[in-house]
Amino acid sequence: MKLGVMCSGNGTNFENIVRSCRFDEVVLMIYNKEGCGAYKRAAKFGIPHCYVDSKDEDKIVREFMWAGVELIVMAGWMRIVTSHLIDAFPHRIINIHPSLLPKHKGLNVIQRAMDAGDTVTGCTVHYVTEELDSGDIIIQGEVPILPDDTIESLTKAIRRQEYSILPRAIEYVKQGL
């Protein structure tokens, strides 16, 4: 399957997709923060990549269509997308989110889980809809919140779980297409 990936940050989930989804091809990575780590990782792997302002969804759609993308993975894309992008790729956009949805939607969710006194958190891969972090859940992975966890240690534990479930979610979606 031809994958398109959308990134805003360091790109560790992007690299995980490249390394673990061996039967799929990442044909384009779009990023919306110049100089971000994802850009550097795409260059390292020789994967076509381009900067697009997150508000320019016309260009995002054109780029993914031009590349023949069959599934879009939002791997740390820190912007809400609109119906324009969603309608162009119906039921073909998935997102990885660092909480057990529907709990803790939006931003700063790891800190919010700790502040709430949760004993378990995790991550969710879900279909993207117009409502923030509300699409159908594909897969979740739990992570215990340990008494001595810090935001940094819990973030690392959740990231390890993301690396596990994201390739499985891609495979699941691919089987359904």
- Which 3 state secondary structure label does DSSP give 51? strand
Alpha carbon 95 to its chain's center: 4
- Give the separation between CA 123 and CA 162, rounded to whole angstroms: 6
Q: Is 84 a catalytic residue?
A: no
Phi, psi of 25 (to 5 degrees): -125, 125
Pick the catalytic residue from 49, 97, 104, 126.
97
Among 112, 71, 111, residue whose Cα is nearest residue 95? 71
User: Residue 118 corresponds to which tokens in the numbers above?
Assistant: 């949760």
In total, the chain counts a number of residues equal to: 177
Catalytic residues: 97
